[in-house]
Homo-oligomer: A and B are copies of this chain.
């Protein structure tokens, strides 16, 4: 305990240090972009109506979807993880802390990338939206580790992960020109396999054991549903955040269909595999969302309503079966403990989403998309002046790489493989660093327990012990009770 309180002080200093570094970096690198800049000429429209200020609305107004994505990250992820009986305050509290740090890190990562390209690091509403989406990645990894780390381990993991996320997205999106509108690959698969790799490193040292606090209570399960339902509701905003016009509308419709279908099939599969054919709260809290992940890559494609429903149903099925059969297996055989089952909600559905996206890319023709084909898959646009001229002049389409449908599908699969590969390798490295001296480790006793992080009131602590006593037949506590 004494040792812990020493390292507690170290952790505090590290936390202050991280925020100070962020302030310094932000000061050195970031400026307002042209849209939010008061001193930007284009913000002073010299229009006919005598100087009323007219900022030209960006094609897609980020203010429309931004608040919804914002709610998903903090309320959605935060409350989804409150399902643990005695780790609810940490779940929502650490999501809050981590999110507040990592959104700054994500802005700086994007800023550095833009600096690479444009020699400037402007901030705009679009940056905030991108940063929100990026933050989801380490929060997914956190789900695999929930209750087993100190908060500073999560902070360092998140920072390293966001750097690798940025590199991977740059490679996949800019260099290899793969399409991943709803980030099935870049966010979900990456976050899940990164987190599982870290957990694997932890299991190499300490074989995962049964823990008496690793379960839900009646109320904690209801708190978690706040997260589930908000995620479910706003997933269409997440998947359509990067799109515009008809693409955006299609992504909203496809996502709603897919996630509705995965919700129904997750309920049905849960009842099929559970005792007495009842529903299981873990499945309902998580697998109902798998359709949102699985439609991600293809969200803006012409997969037809029936295609969206089918991929959602498959994701819901896979996800529940994963919770039931696969998670116990990988814990036993691979020693990978996965607290929230992120492999079932983000890992497998993310891979499914990547494959489904490749399939839809392979089926995409000018007949079904018209010239939109070259907006959705820019690499498929012609690169010869002859073919391009009319499209460019009339529809603003830029020169591409003249890829065929099959080539695009191949690149999609390549990027999926690269993403999972980078996630696993960088997750292993990060896990090894986390086990080294830069952060303190958490003892078996402190796992899944809010007491490790929070100054709990006596009442709450007692209540916890009484409950524990009730559930696990401890006989010393009713005595203390009387």
Contact = CB atoms under 8 A, between A and B. Distances in A.
Contacts of A67: 68, 233-234, 237
Contacts of A404: none
A104 B249 contact: no
A75 B454 contact: no
Contacts of A452: 278
A253 B126 CA distance: 10
Contact of A92 (B54, B64, B225, B478): B225
Contact of A372 (B43, B75, B96, B218): B43
Interface string A236-262: 010000001111011011001101110
The 10 closest A-B pairs by CB, nearest first: A8-B277, A51-B396, A27-B306, A51-B395, A36-B249, A100-B263, A459-B471, A38-B372, A55-B245, A218-B460
A263 to B, nearest CB: 4
Contacts of A263: 96-97, 100
A481 to B, nearest CB: 6
A309 interface: yes
| A contact residues, range | 35 or more
A205 interface: no
A403 interface: no
Given A53-B395, A96-B284, A278-B455, A268 B12 contact: yes
Interface stretch (A184-192, A424-432, A462-470): A462-470
A42 to B, nearest CB: 9
Interface in A19-37: 19, 22-23, 26-27, 30-32, 35-37
Contacts of A9: 277
Interface stretch (A81-89, A160-168, A175-183, A344-352): A81-89
A276 interface: yes
Contacts of A272: 12, 16
A274 interface: yes
A252 B35 CA distance: 12
A170 interface: no
A38 B376 contact: yes
Contacts of A144: none
Interface stretch (A334-342, A363-371, A411-419): A363-371
A453 interface: yes
A27 B313 CA distance: 14
Contact of A16 (B23, B70, B268, B370): B268
* Majority-rule SS of A interface residues: helix
A4 interface: yes
A462 to B, nearest CB: 6
A5 interface: yes
Contact of A221 (B75, B89, B482): B89
14 contacts: A12-B277, A16-B268, A19-B313, A27-B309, A32-B304, A38-B368, A38-B370, A50-B392, A52-B396, A75-B226, A89-B281, A96-B288, A125-B249, A128-B253
A291 to B, nearest CB: 10
A215 B279 contact: no
A35 to B, nearest CB: 6
Given A97-B267, A305-B31, A26 B257 contact: yes
A8 B275 CA distance: 10
Contacts of A276: 1, 4-5, 8, 455
A305 B464 CA distance: 43
A449 to B, nearest CB: 12
Interface in A351-409: 367-373, 375-376, 391-397
A386 to B, nearest CB: 18
Given A222-B92, A470-B459, A5 B252 contact: no
Contact of A459 (B51, B215, B232, B313): B215
A467 B481 CA distance: 11
Contacts of A478: 481-482
A288 B99 CA distance: 12
Given A19-B265, A275-B455, A460-B216, A370 B39 contact: yes
Contacts of A280: 454-455
A18 B50 CA distance: 46
Contact of A8 (B1, B278, B454): B278
Contacts of A313: 19, 23
Contacts of A64: 63-64
A281 B30 CA distance: 33
Given A27-B304, A103-B256, 9 more contacts: A30-B306, A38-B373, A51-B391, A92-B229, A100-B259, A103-B260, A217-B460, A276-B455, A478-B481
